[in-house]
Structure 1
Amino acid sequence: MTGTSTRPLLDVRDLVVRYGALTAVDHVSFALEPGETLALDGPSGCGKSSTALAVLQLRRPDAGEVHFEGRELTTLTDRELRPLRPRMQPVFQDPYGSLSPRHRIRDAVAEPLKAQGRWSTADGPAKVAELLDRVGLDPSYGERRPDELSGGQCQRVGIARALASDPRLLVLDEPVSALDPSVRAGVLNLLADLQDDLGLGYLFICHDRDVVRHFADRVVELREGRVSGSWRPRRSAAAPR
């Protein structure tokens, strides 16, 4: 689904990320419209995840610009970034690794609400239950811990936690690569439905060409840290959307 705004939701210009003498991201540029899924595709080590971290400002780039909702992020201090961070949320590859094994699911989903000062004992539990229901989990799962859930269920919890911040952009870093094929389709369908309902933009990091072809609106190919091409997939009838 592609938005109609004249301004990109995300506009990345000449992004550079270096680790010592290694240039992991070499002048990468792309733009993502509101409500669009833009995939970064390419082999392992091509710079996809480094690009995602730089977009989120979890790893400050060495050069280039990242414009989100019209604001240039690379010049902002951490304090200035703080009110913008809820609007751009990550969903990581490892569904178990992103959740504390000591915390119940309800606490994991509530954590962003509490961190942002949006939690109250009056309506907080109902909000958590609503978020779990939104990602296809019975609210009773809030009483469980991550090791009592499957990988697909944990990834749904990760998505619920991201949604708690009312984001406009989700940065999905290989969100289904660790899941079984049947579970993978269900999570992709959930993401597609959420995008249709909420108008979210997705920066979708993936190396599986079939998944990219079925899920993305546009694809930017990365090779050795550089953009090697871009294309629009033709979604097949068997697409998980």
Structure 2
Amino acid sequence: MTPLLDVRDLVVRYGAATAVDGVSFQVRAGETVGLVGPSGCGKSSTAAAVLRLRRPHAGEVRFDGLELTALSERRLRAIRPRLQPVFQDPYGSLSPRRRIRAQIAEPLRVQGRWSRPAGPERVAELLDMVGLDPALGERLPHELSGGQCQRAGIARALASAPELLVLDEPVSALDPSLRAGVLNLLLDLQDRLGLGYLFISHDMAAVRHLSDRVLTMRAGKIVT
């Protein structure tokens, strides 16, 4: 079976410095692959290249058999809903001036899937799916806790009906008391929706809790 994500000999450079040096791995549908390592080892640069937020200098990133590094921006726009990020900073990843419901609705509007009353109903369903009272959709991000904001960010990612989530340190900014709740939510969503996860973290306990396989990076390379 074709892997959902197939990264081959990936290289990312910043000037003369090589951040990612020949990295290869696969993620299958419904599987969580953990990517761990110290700060500066290349984990986030790998995530940026997988998401095509940064163009790699060499190598391939295949999603469901499609070579993303070779696609035009127009063709990438059609693929991006299937491959969604969840970032580290729950407040920084949301607009501070827009209500939560509007931010979750935005992917539905952009992708032409918004209508009344189905659109608002879908937003309420997504909030409920991530364990938030739909009434919280009326609030601004600063009116929510960090854990609630991260759940709202996950709901926004799910609005695109993705097949793969790239989770870049999704619980590292949360209090320890909130981390387990978000990790268990991710496990529940994976079980319900069949999502694949690339889970990036320096927290080995979190990675072991969530992952089927764990890869370790050091100095831009996968060492185990």
Q: For the superposition of Structure 1 and Structure 2, which TM-score range results when normalised by the shorter chain?
A: over 0.9
Quote the residue 2:17 is aligned against.
22
* Counterpart Cα distance in 2 of 1:116 and 1:22: 38
User: How far is the alpha carbon of 1:122 from its aligned partner?
Assistant: 2.6
Tell me the alpha carbon deviations over residues 148-183 of structure 1, each in whole angstroms, 9 at most, x when there is no partner: 100000000000000000000000000000001110
**3-state secondary structure, aligned to 1:43:** coil
Unaligned runs of 5+ in 2: none
Which structure has more RCO (C-alpha within 8 Å, separation ≥ 6)?
A: 2
**3-state secondary structure, aligned to 2:166:** strand
Match of 2:133 among 126, 138, 152: 138
User: How far is the alpha carbon of 1:43 from its aligned partner?
Assistant: 0.2
Quote the residue 2:142 is aligned against.
147
Q: Mean alpha-carbon deviation: is it higher for 214-223 or for 85-94?
A: 214-223
User: TM-score, normalised on structure 2?
Assistant: 0.99
Q: Are 1:227 and 2:222 an aligned pair? A: yes
- The percent of aligned pairs where both chains have the same amino acid is 73
Q: Are 1:114 and 2:109 an aligned pair? A: yes
Give runs of aligned pairs for residues 183-194 of structure 1, distance below 5 A. Answer: 183-194=178-189
Q: Are 1:166 and 2:161 an aligned pair? A: yes
User: How far is the alpha carbon of 1:7 from its aligned partner?
Assistant: 1.3
**3-state secondary structure, aligned to 2:102:** helix
* Counterpart Cα distance in 2 of 1:52 and 1:201: 14
Quote the residue 1:212 is aligned against.
207
Quote the residue 1:233 is aligned against.
none
User: How far is the alpha carbon of 1:213 from its aligned partner?
Assistant: 1.6
* Counterpart Cα distance in 1 of 2:145 and 2:7: 35
User: How far is the alpha carbon of 1:211 from its aligned partner?
Assistant: 1.1
One-letter amino acid of the counterpart of residue 112, structure 1:
P
Quote the residue 2:63 is aligned against.
68
Quote the residue 1:3 is aligned against.
none
Q: How many residues in Structure 1 have an aligned counterpart in Structure 2?
A: 224
Quote the residue 2:93 is aligned against.
98
Tell me the alpha carbon deviations over residues 84-114 of structure 1, each in whole angstroms, 9 at most, x when there is no partner: 0000000000000011110001001001111
Give runs of aligned pairs for residues 28-43 of structure 1, distance below 5 A. Answer: 28-43=23-38
The structure with the greater share of residues assigned to helix is 2
**3-state secondary structure, aligned to 2:84:** strand
User: TM-score, normalised on structure 1?
Assistant: 0.92
Unaligned runs of 5+ in 1: 1-5, 230-241
* Counterpart Cα distance in 1 of 2:15 and 2:26: 27
Quote the residue 1:53 is aligned against.
48
Superposed structure 1 runs of 4+ greater than 3 Å apart: none
Tell me the alpha carbon deviations over residues 18-51 of structure 1, each in whole angstroms, 9 at most, x when there is no partner: 0000000000000111100001100000000000
- RMSD between aligned residues: 0.6
Tell me the alpha carbon deviations over residues 37-74 of structure 1, each in whole angstroms, 9 at most, x when there is no partner: 00110000000000000001010111000010111111
**3-state secondary structure, aligned to 2:154:** helix
One-letter amino acid of the counterpart of residue 158, structure 1:
G
